[in-house]
Amino acid sequence: MRHKTITLCPTTYEIARKMDNFSAWIRIQILAFDNGGESLDDAIRQRNHWKAKFDAINKPVPPMHQDMEDLE
């Protein structure tokens, strides 16, 4: 395996940090690109999918439940 460094913005870093295997995901995306790439619509759909997952993980706790955070 060879190493390649990429730069992420704070938002994409947080998403990548929560992924089980970010490197494998990147390799799959590069191979898909090399095999003809994906349409812009597919790329936007995938971006929205991962953003929704990230947003679901990082939802603020409503004030009435903040005292219950310790129970999780």
**What is the spatial distance between Cα 39 and Cα 26, in angstroms, rounded to a whole number?**
17
Give the domain extent around 21.
10-55
DSSP line for 32-70: HHHTT---HHHHHHHHHHHHHHHHHHTPPPPGGGGGGGG
Per-residue confidence (pLDDT) for residue 72, from 0 to 100? 47
- The pLDDT value recorded for residue 65 is 47
47: in domain = yes
- Segments of the chain scoring below 50 in pLDDT: 65-66, 68-72
Residue 66 placed within a domain: no
Number of domains, the chain: 1
> Would 70 be classed as within a structural domain?
no
